[in-house]
Amino acid sequence: MRAVLMVGGRGMRLRPFTTTIPKPLVPVGGELPIIELLLRQLRRCGVTEVTLATGHMGGLIQRYVGDGAQWDLSIDYWHEDAPLGTIGPLLQHRDSLPDDVLLLNGDLLCSIDFAELVAFHTRQGGGLTMAGSTRRIDVEFGVLEVDGTELNEFREKPQLAYLANMGIYVLSRTVLDQLDGDGAHGVDELIRSLLAAGVHPNVYEFDGYWLDIGRPEDYDRANLEFAELRRQLLGDEVDTPDSTIDLRPLRPDPHPDAVPLDAIVGSVA
């Protein structure tokens, strides 16, 4: 199975952590960068080929990850000179894609079984499968449900649930034919195009751990919870990466001096 990881974002919401390193290299739990966690998980689930769609600070990511041999993976790169969205890189390289591909954001902390997700996609037989996780919002006001001017129901500060898009997909190459051109395209465009054509993507509802590390408070939570989650994410693996990246999860100076490349990423064998 082949996977494509989207790792080209600038990580603006996660600043100041991403001032000097790209978000996929931000360490979790003082131990491993986000991207290495994902690569190890993918290999455990049977993925053998990975493509990294890089952009901002892509050279640092490539220098750390290399060809993937240290994780028994074959890794190549698609570099974006300008943002192409989630689907844009796939459109540019559609001729090199297999019939089905696993596509995911490169900033996730998640205990999903990628092999089961792919198997679900195969069983359902559709062109696109999206992973979804239930999230709940506490409403701070009483909610009025009315019919015209009459009150039908009153709920005091209810909790509302919704199914969130996890940023993890399995798609068949043929669904890319729904979009024209090779420019920037978001996954929302693909979904709306499929729905307009009467094609309904499948949804894989996942009830395990999922955290999108997009904000400083999310990163703080990831660091706090990682020790308890490590076995869920990595099984019995206990080794740490052979790198010279400072993996301590310390909040950096919000106005750091320029950092030389060799001070961020050293030689990775």
Residue 241 has pLDDT above 50, yes or no: no
Q: Residues 242-249: what's their mean pLDDT?
A: 42
The answer to whether residue 253 scores a pLDDT higher than 70 is: no
Answer whether residue 267 shows pLDDT above 80. no
Domain range for 212 is 2-130+166-264
98 domain-assigned: yes
Model pLDDT for residues 119-166, shown as the tens digit of each residue: 999 999 989 999 999 999 999 999 999 999 999 999 999 999 999 999
Q: Which helix (H) or strand (E) holds 131?
A: strand 128-138
Structural domain includes residue 144: no
CB atoms within 10 A of CB 82: 9
Are 57 and 11 in contact, with CB atoms under 8 Å apart? Answer: no
- Tell whether 54 is covered by a domain: yes
Instruction: Tally the domains of the chain.
Output: 1
Query: For residue 180, is pLDDT > 70?
Result: yes
- Note the maximum CA span of the chain: 70
Residue 237: its pLDDT value, please? 66
Q: Which residues make Cβ contacts (< 8 Å) with residue 128, sequence separation at least 6?
A: 169, 170, 171, 172, 175, 190, 191, 194, 201, 202
Q: What was the pLDDT predicted at 141?
A: 95
Residue 137 resides in a domain: no
Answer whether residue 92 shows pLDDT above 50. yes
Q: Does residue 223 carry a pLDDT above 60? A: yes
Residue 132 and residue 149: Cα distance in Å, rounded?
Answer: 36
Percent of the chain clearing pLDDT 90 (strictly above): 51
Tell me the whole-structure pTM to 2 decimals.
0.81
Looking at residue 244, which CATH number applies to its domain?
3.90.550.10
Distance CA 19, CA 55 (A): 15
Whether 222 shows a pLDDT value over 80: the answer reads yes
In the predicted model, is pLDDT for residue 57 greater than 50? yes
Tell me the C-alpha distance between 44 and 222, whole Å. Answer: 21
CA 41 from centroid of its chain's CA atoms: 12
- Which residues, other chains included, contact 242 with Cβ-Cβ below 8 Å and sequence gap of 6+? 70, 268, 269
- 201 found inside a domain: yes
Q: Is 78 within the bounds of a domain? A: yes
123, part of any domain: yes
User: Is there a domain that residue 149 lies in?
Assistant: no
**pLDDT band (50, 70, 90) for residue 12:** low
